[in-house]
Structure 1
């Protein structure tokens, strides 16, 4: 069965490793190319966009793809929409390998917002020490609040980092552990964290550390995508693929 995995996440990595040794599947992993030194899978892969819905539909036809697994980041809404529309037009089954959202627990001090602009406003006027962990995009929005001191943690250097008047950059790739997150928040005297509600275990320790230290979290709500079949682990994907395989 020829399958396309839309990836870039730890879930996509796990699925690529799982199908690599399974003769029942011929899989290709597609990476957006936003990370400069991406993890390369043990299966064929491609890097870069498709050219919108039409480009993806053409690729699916040219490669005779029989099923698509959307294992992109929960905030990669454009790619997920393109996959849904292309697969619907081409009549190819589509499933999402995704992470359940984080839910606030007792002791969490969350300020839930809809987008980056609202997150900026939620920081308030008084100078604060802010940890930004929401990814590479739109750091420039925080330049509207130059009174804050920003600690930015991301995988690659953001192009717009210099627009933040007061900042320090940490280049690190998760997963992170609870002890190191506690040390980071304490040593850097962080007052508030800005984070997307990405879900999953890799970056959740920062949320646990914030809870333990009583630090506020400006949590950016996950965008709502049109419904497709959802799988929350690799074995669920394998069961879904088996159910969609043509009879031998």
Structure 2
């Protein structure tokens, strides 16, 4: 059996570990987008780079005789997820989406849900002037026109233009601690947090720190999983789905 995992997330690495350990006779290939200069590599085979859209992915599935496709990309990697659904439909390869659950607001949270990064940028002038922007380096262009706000951003690799003119960059990789997030908000006098609803524990402490500080949080809602694609919430659930699939087939 050849399993292709569209990865780049903590959950994808964990899934590859589970599959390599549980299915020693299977071929497990993880595909990384190549957007991070020094990614943490999972066990098994690894390929880096795009496929050339849905048709390119479908051709790769056929050429490499993939039996199961698992989309374990970031919850906001909308393009590759829809390409995966289209390629799976073309090739009749079973597809599963692995998605960590989104965050849920707690008592005391001042969340402002928006549908896009552009919507987040539109909301900021009414909310504050010193922004902790945690939406990733590839989305900074949406905030480039905001001159009255100062931004603190955090990413693994340095961002490229376009981006806000008044911006300080922290080159860091999670997970992040609650004490660290509290100190960051206090030191930089942050009055608004902007985040995507990525879910997971690695970056969740910023939400607690924002709640304690009483500052508003602009939350970009995640895009939906393509219609008809089954979803697993954890790597363990994805591995169990795969085991069940093998029994059924």
What TM-score comes out, normalization by structure 1 length?
Answer: 0.95
**Residue 218 (structure 2) aligns with:** 218
Residues in 1 aligned to 2:189 and 2:20: alpha-carbon distance in whole angstroms: 44
In structure 2, the residue corresponding to 1:245 is in which secondary structure? helix
**Residue 128 (structure 1) aligns with:** 129
Q: Is 1:15 aligned to residue 15 of structure 2?
A: yes
Deviations 1:125-165 (A, max 9, x none): 6861101100122312212211111111111111126x422
What TM-score comes out, normalization by structure 2 length?
Answer: 0.95
Q: 1:180 to 1:126 in 2, by over 3 A?
A: closer
In structure 2, the residue corresponding to 1:199 is in which secondary structure? coil
5+ residue gaps, structure 1, are none
Q: 1:62 to 1:180 in 2, by over 3 A?
A: same
Residues in 1 aligned to 2:4 and 2:122: alpha-carbon distance in whole angstroms: 40
**Residue 74 (structure 2) aligns with:** 73
In structure 2, the residue corresponding to 1:72 is in which secondary structure? coil
Q: 1:17 offset after TM fit, Å?
A: 1.6
Whether the 8 Å CA contact 2:127–2:192 is kept in 1: the answer is no
**Residue 36 (structure 2) aligns with:** 35
Residues in 2 aligned to 1:91 and 1:242: alpha-carbon distance in whole angstroms: 19
User: 5 Å matches for 1:42-61?
Assistant: 42-61=43-62
Residues in 2 aligned to 1:157 and 1:107: alpha-carbon distance in whole angstroms: 33
In structure 2, the residue corresponding to 1:49 is in which secondary structure? coil
In structure 1, the residue corresponding to 2:137 is in which secondary structure? coil
Deviations 1:190-220 (A, max 9, x none): 0001100111111111011111111111111
Q: 1:124 to 1:241 in 2, by over 3 A?
A: same
Deviations 1:46-103 (A, max 9, x none): 0000011111011001111100110000000110001011111111111111111111
Whether the 8 Å CA contact 2:57–2:84 is kept in 1: the answer is yes
In structure 2, the residue corresponding to 1:73 is in which secondary structure? coil
Which portions of structure 1, spanning 4 or more consecutive aligned residues, are displaced by more than 3 angstroms?
Answer: none
**Residue 145 (structure 1) aligns with:** 146
Q: Is 1:160 aligned to residue 167 of structure 2?
A: no
5+ residue gaps, structure 2, are none
User: 5 Å matches for 1:51-130?
Assistant: 51-124=52-125, 128-130=129-131
Q: 1:246 offset after TM fit, Å?
A: 6.3
Whether the 8 Å CA contact 1:127–1:149 is kept in 2: the answer is no
Residues in 1 aligned to 2:189 and 2:174: alpha-carbon distance in whole angstroms: 21
Whether the 8 Å CA contact 1:126–1:147 is kept in 2: the answer is no
